[in-house]
Amino acid sequence: MQHSHEALDRPGGFAKANLLAPLRHRDFRVLWLGMAVSLIGDGIFFVAVAWESYSLWNAPVALSIVGIGMTVPTVAFLLVGGVVSDRFDRRLVMVWADSLRAAAVALLAILVLTDALHFWQLVGLVAVYGIGTAFFTPAFEAIVPELVPGADLPAANSLDQLIRPIALRLLGPVLGGVLIALGTGIAFAVDAASFAASLIAVLALRRVPRARAELEVSSVSALKEGLQFVRRRVWLWGTLLSAAITYLVFLGPAEVLLPFVVKNDLHGSAGTLGLVLAAGGLGAVGGAALMGHKGHPRRDVTVMYLTWTVATLAIAGYGIATAAWQLMVACLVFNALEAAGTIVWATIKQRHVPASMLGRVSSLDWLISIGLLPISFALTAPVAAAIGARTTLVAAAVVGAVVTLSGLFLPGMRDIEGRSQGDPEAGSGPAFAELASSSSFVRSL
């Protein structure tokens, strides 16, 4: 189960600057060495979870339930994770979060290796994993600007855009497919061990003192401040709302039914699934490299939405494909375009969101964008049972693309195109709560 939405809230974009420049800074170098190993483990984990789910219960409803079990706790704790990451030592937040995830995966490995795993236990443990993710992600997003000077931050974020898909979407799934051939329990054990690299790296970071005024703000006030910031900017709340509806439509079917098609329609192995997902990783790297060559587009919001629209349409390839190589092409195209759009989005956020609010805005990004994912997972199985897995995938792609493109035409969405970096009024507009209550607005999406 590859979570493509994990790329949604990366904290920066791709730059033409020297990509290796941030590695001169000791703390950033240490962090990313550890993160690279851990991300490979995450790629193994997603393939292993999908394969184990269908081993225990060979029906789309199995991975739907597992997806719900992972995303509901993540969504429920994201706001808390964002506030905590802005108020406390981000190193310690990351350590505790990764310790929790490592413990869950280690227990999962033990249960599989001893042939004692039941489906309800799998759901419970991925839920614990999801809680850890809700705290780790905002803290990681916000700690990067503390580790490198502002001049090297674009290059640091560019390096992130290259390393992340290589580890998470390319090397991890391929290695996961190989390890699952030896035993799913072994795959989980390797992932659990990979967390050690992350923990060692985070513990080795030097503590960055936090401003007293920042720490004295109450959690409730900090949360309100973050919500107010988002709802006053059309480009921000409009994109998050568009993503929420689009992900509701297509992401559940894509993540649940792609492994099902590989296993049951094409009669492929876990290695086949790993290669399909790895093709997506290769596409993401290619998309990042292309953006690095082209640079940030002048009409960034327009380019972002058009790219995401075509990416969503590529999901239809999962329903049309009759061979594994065709699935690989569809996955490559989807991830290449998704990555390109995400880099533009991340750059826009970095230019217009104050550093002191990155943790909160990042958590709100996740919360709103993936808030409806549990419903998407829940609906996938009955819809697939009614109209078929392949038809569900094609329909989800078409409807999702229409919804994505509609977001571009929200009043004021493109107002920030050409605005200066850090303009506090860039993209200001009507409050999210006011427009969201309008039935005509909802229909326009």
Helix axis angle for 60-87 and 234-260, nearest 10°, is: 150
| pLDDT tens readout for residues 15-48 | 444 667 778 888 888 888 888 898 999 989 988 9
| pLDDT tens readout for residues 76-114 | 888 788 778 877 788 899 999 999 999 999 999 999 999
What is the average pLDDT across 149-167? 73
What is the average pLDDT across 299-313? 93
For residue 417, the SS3 value is: coil
- Are 419 and 426 in contact, with CB atoms under 8 Å apart? yes
Residue 121 sits in a domain whose CATH number is: 1.20.1250.20
| pLDDT tens readout for residues 363-379 | 777 777 777 888 898 89
Q: 0.85 exceeded by the pTM?
A: no
φ/ψ of residue 55, rounded to 5: -70, -35
- Are 252 and 67 in contact, with CB atoms under 8 Å apart? yes
Give residue 115's domain range. Answer: 4-444
For residues 272 and 281, give the distance between their C-alpha atoms in angstroms, rounded to a whole number: 14
What is the average pLDDT across 246-263? 90
Q: Report whether pLDDT(190) > 60.
A: yes
For residues 111 and 115, give the distance between their C-alpha atoms in angstroms, rounded to a whole number: 6
Which H or E run contains 258?
Answer: helix 234-260
The owner of tokens 């703390």 is 27
- Are 255 and 67 in contact, with CB atoms under 8 Å apart? yes
In the chain, pLDDT over 90 holds for what percent of residues? 30
Query: Which amino acid appears at position 440 of this protein?
Result: S
pLDDT tier at 438, thresholds 50, 70, 90: very low
Name which of 6, 2, 3, 14 is nearest 340 in CA terms: 14
For residues 45 and 176, give the distance between their C-alpha atoms in angstroms, rounded to a whole number: 7
Dihedral (Cα; 32, 36, 37, 38), 10-degree rounding: 90
Number of domains, the chain: 1
Q: Report whether pLDDT(423) > 50.
A: no
Number of Cβ within a 10 Å radius of residue 445: 17
pLDDT tier at 157, thresholds 50, 70, 90: low
Number of Cβ within a 10 Å radius of residue 444: 13
